[in-house]
Each structure stands twice: as C-alpha cells, then as structure tokens.
Structure 1
Amino acid sequence: MNAAPALAGYTAAMGFAAPQLLLRSNWPHRAPALAAAAWHALAVSFSIAAALTAYSLAMPTEHLHAGLVGLLHTCGLSANTAQPDPDTADRLAVGVPAVIGIALVASFAFHVVRARRARTQHREAVDLVGRHSPRLCATVLPYDTPAAYCLPGRHPRIVISDAAVDRLTPEQLDAVLEHEQAHITGRHHLVLAAMEAFYSVFRWVPLARHARQQTTLLLEMIADDRALRRHSHEVLATAMYEMAAARTPKGAWAAGGPNALIRMKRILGPRKTPHPALWGSVAAMALAVPLLPLLVACPPGLG
C-alpha cells in the first residue's frame, strides 16, 4: 500500500489549513513562547511530510520499510554488496527528499551568515560613532529620535539613541534595555533565521508566510514578557510608544517597530494566563506533530 495520497493530503493540510486554525486561535498572544514552538513544529512537520511525499511518489510500489532498506543500499551502508545499482526511481526517491533537506540547511546557513555580516558592519560603525555607557551597558548614539535596538551574535551590542536617554524615565529606559537583553540571551536571531530558511524554500505555502510573520511578532512578545517581570505594563507601553517611529537596521531587534501597536494593546489589555491544560495539550502537540508524517507514511501494523 502506497502512502503517497495520504502524505500529500497531510502535507496540504499542514501547509494550508493548519496555519489558519492557529491564526484564528486566541491563545498564542497569551503564551508567545508556546505559540512560537507550535509554528516551528508545523514547519518541521510540513518539511518532513513534503520529503516523504516525494519519496512515495518516486517509489509507488514500495512501503517505507522497504524504502529505508533501499536507502541504505543507495548510500552504500548495507552489508549485502550483491544488490544491484539503484535505478532511476531509487535515485529520485533518495535525491528529491535530500534536495529538500539540503535546501533548508543551506538556506538557514545563508540567512545566518548574511545577518551576521550586516550586524558586523553596523557594529563597527556603531563603535566608531557611539560612546559606550557602563551605567547602561549599552552604546549611545547621537540621534534625535528615541530608538533602541540590539545586535545579537557573538559580540552583542545594545544600542540606544541619546534622545531616548533624555526623554525616557529611568524606569522606562531600564525596561527597554531588559527587552533588548532578552533578544540576546534568547538567541532569537537564530530562531528567526530558521523560519526565514523555511520561507525561502517554501515561500508559495501559506504556512511559510504566516509562520515567518508570526514568529517575528511572538519573539517580540517574549522579550516584552521578560521586561514585564520587573517593570509595570504602563512603563513598558509608554517606552514603546516613544520609540514606535524609530527605524531598525538590518539584522537588529528593536523595542519599537511595526508591531509596536499590537504589542502595546496586548500589554495594556486584560491579562489572562493560559490554563495548564492548554499548555500541556499544545506542548504535546508541538512534540508530536513532527512525528505524524512518519506515522502516515508507515502506519503501525503495515509491513
């Protein structure tokens, strides 16, 4: 029994239907870390399902069990050296899924390297123009618009304009710095690079487009929640309002930005902690969804 139709249906469901269900849910903004994990789980599940669908289409008469054995022969890992060379279908069955995996890894590396290069160039310029503030643990730039952002990576920087230092209260300034530090310690640039890679390979799929947009917003909300551990909602929201119009250099994370209005409404609106049952069910889903394509391709009891 060939699993190609079931796998194709599952891939389509993950790519087109699942993101709509997640977008219509009202819990992601209440649990941004969990929601980000859910989006990544859907992306991983879709990628695995797409690879297995390509394999099943290339080997319509083979079950996944047999295909895995064939994969070992193709890679030269089988102890039986008397097997014949793989034919065209065998090569396609291995080659197409391999291309998908290689494309994702290469795209991730490309986005990481490109962002690192942009941050390095900007960091060098910031070090020349700005002045380091030991009190703020940040670099202060001469800029007449309130702004704050961070340059994550091996040599991170938190950059803040002197207009922000002058206009923000000490509490607001501390909240902004806490927000930026959360991006650095959370290594959010790598999380976003993974989703950028997924979008680059599957940009025609709604899941890829929505996952990239939502991950960017959710990572900002995660940083907001880190700042809210020590500061009031009004303090952080006011600071974000002051810096909403500031521009962010490429590869940086800013406390303001285009999502500032959504985040301010979330911060100032009623706060409702997700029910533990919701946490548990979504966490279980995030762990199980990447494995579902394997069950579809190789259901229990089939040999």
Structure 2
Amino acid sequence: MTALALALLALVLLWPAPLLLARARWTYREPRAALVLWQAIGLAAGLALIGAAVAVALAPLGGGLFDGLAALARGTGRLPTAHTVLFLVALGLLTWLAGVLVYRFLATLWVRRRHRELLDLVADPWPGQAGGRVLAHPRAVAYCLPGAGSRVVLSSGALDLLDPQELDAVVAHERAHLAERHDLVVLPFAAWRTALPGLPGVRRARPAVATLVEMLADDRACAVCDRAALATALARVGTAAAPEGALAATGRATLVRVQRLLDPPAPSPVLRFGCYAGAAALLAVPTLALLAGWSG
C-alpha cells in the first residue's frame, strides 16, 4: 500500500501538478511562496518516485527503510532476484538525478567562467558600477552573470535607449538577482528537465520558475526604484534572452511582468500560508513513508 501511494504521489507531482501550477496566475501575488511550493514539488516527486521503488524492493525484509538496509548490510536478509533488480534500479535513479544536478552545476560554473573571461576582454568597465561591464552592441540588452566575480552587463544600445531613472531600475533588478542568488533557485529545475525530459510537467516547470524569479527581482528592485520606470525599461529593452548561465532583466514573460508592475496584485497572507503549508506537507508525506514501516 505504501509503495502504491508513493507511486501515485510521484505521478501526480511529475505530471498534472506542475502543469496546473505553471498555468496558475495566483502565484504572481506571492512569487516567493510559490517558488517554495515548486521546490517542494520537485524534491517530493524525487523522494516519492525513489521511495516507491525502494518500498517494493525491500518489502520481503519487512520494516522500513533503515530496517531493510540494515538487514542487507548485516547479511541477515536476502532479496529475491526481481526485488534485487528493482533495488538497483532505485539506486540508479537516485544516482542519475544527483549526477545530473552536479553536472549541471559544474557545467554552469564553467560556462560562467568562460563568459566572464570573454566579457573582461571585449567589454568596457562601467564607471561607478562594481562589476559592471558595457558591451558595444546596438541591440538593447541587460543581464547579470552570478557567482564569484559577478558581472552586471548592459549593451551600449541599452545605455542609449534608457533614461537615467530607467537605467537605475534595470541595474537594481540585476543586483536583486545577484543578492538573492536566483541562479541557484533555477538550477535544480534545469537539472530536473535534463534528467526527465519526456514529462510535460517537468518541461513546464523551468519557464514557470524563471518567471517567478524575475518577479521577485522586480519586487526587490521596486523597493529602491520607481515601479513605472522599471516597467518602461522592460518594455523598451524588449524580450532579449540571457546568455547561458546568466539572468536577464527581460524574457518571454516580459509583458506579464510589465502589467504586474503597473497594476501590482495585492499580497495574500492566505495564499502565502497555503503554499508554505502545502510545501511542508509534500515533503513530510514521502519522508515519513520512507522512515515508517511499509509491510501493512
């Protein structure tokens, strides 16, 4: 019963749940809480999927996860061949998911280091902006490169297009990304998509999370700049995408963000509490199922 419940939970969290959450617009009212819910969905899906396989594999030994593993380690428990294969599949899946995450992290670090070195060669320092670089290009572009030796990059086209207030707003947005390390929020979802590319819910997760991250940066920037100026700047700069490993002020959801800036939704303590409570419950269910016995 435990294995079946975990398998159903994994199916829901990998397919309809992310699709529904990606379409939801109430998340725009509480983007930070919605991001916590997204993270809980991703982690709980992995726990439930692996837990279901482990529960079936170790069922002949009785007890829970630790009892079963202890019996295997002591040599006091033996698994039938089919259960042994399933246990190895579960270990392989865990290794695959963890390995993809580590690979994406290391690959992103390498891409950013190469990008930073290239920027320092071809871009000019931006006076008065720590880590700022100006790239000679007619197209209006603005993005930041997170990590050690972070950079805030604007093209000469953006400098020519934006007035001082709009420019300050764009810089504040990029500084918000760097301060809150939003790149680390997006990274697991990029790894999730690489590891499980065939699932529609997984494919929709990354762009939905990226939009919420941009809204968080917008909100933080608006604490120190004019909201209308940031909206105008986003509309002016357009939909230029960020290079790999970077975070851009603009993107595919720019129009939605401009509308949100000009007509900000009211925060909702109820939605916020619901997201946090839902995230806690999602993580608790597979964790407790793994720790408890599953023989009944």
Please report the TM-score for the alignment, with normalisation by the length of structure 1: 0.88
The CA distance in 2 between the partners of 1:18 and 1:82, in whole Å, is 41
CA RMSD, 1 decimal: 2.4
CA shift for structure 1 position 202: 2.1
State the partner residue of 2:152: 158
Q: C-alpha separation between the residues in 1 aligned to 2:37 and 2:64?
A: 32
2:71 to 70, 73, 81: 73
Match of 1:198?
Answer: 192
* Cα distance change on mapping 1:38 and 1:145 into 2, 3 Å: same
Q: In the superposition, relative to structure 1, how do residues 50 and 291 fare at CA in structure 2: closer, same or farther (>3 Å)?
A: same
Structure 1 residues 213-239: Cα deviation after superposition (integer angstroms, max 9, x where no partner): 211111111111111112222100111
Task: Select between 167-176 and 291-300 the one with higher mean Cα deviation.
Answer: 291-300
Q: Contact 2:167–2:233 at 8 Å: present in 1 too? A: yes
Q: What is the CA-CA distance between 1:98 and the residue it aligns to?
A: 2.1
2:263 counterpart of 1:263: no
1:12 corresponds to: 11
Output the amino acid matched with 1:156: S
The structure richer in helix per residue is: 2
**1:234/1:297 CA distance change after superposition, 3 Å:** same
Runs (5+) with no aligned partner, structure 1: none
Aligned equivalents of 1:147, 1:122: Cα separation in 2: 15
2:224 matched to which residue of 1? 230
CA distance in 2, matches of 1:227, 1:297: 42
| 2:108 counterpart of 1:115 | yes
Residue 109 of structure 1 aligns to a residue in which SS? helix
TM-score (norm 2): 0.90
**Conserved in 1, the CA contact under 8 Å of 2:60 and 2:79?**
no
CA distance in 2, matches of 1:283, 1:245: 32
> Which shows bigger deviation, 82-91 or 185-194?
82-91
Shift of 1:95: 2.4
The answer (yes or no) to whether the contact 1:4–1:56 under 8 Å persists in 2 is yes
Q: Name the SS of the counterpart of 1:91 in structure 2.
A: helix
> One-letter code of the match for 2:66?
L
Residue 125 (structure 2) pairs with residue 139 (structure 1): no
Deviations 1:99-155 (A, max 9, x none): 222212211111112222222222111111111123133111111122111111112
2:43 maps to which residue?
44
| Closer/same/farther in 2, CA of residues 152 and 115 from structure 1, 3 Å limit | same
Which of 147, 171, 187 is equivalent to 1:177? 171
Q: What do the CA deviations read for 1:170-221 (whole angstroms, capped 9, x no partner)?
A: 1111111111111112212222111111222222233312221211111111
| 1:33 and 1:222 in contact (8 A); partners too | yes
Is this contact kept in 1: 2:10–2:48, CA < 8 A? yes
Q: 1:69 to 1:284 in 2, by over 3 A?
A: same
Shift of 1:289: 0.7
How far 1:32 sits from its partner (Å)?
Answer: 1.0
How many residue pairs end up in the alignment?
295
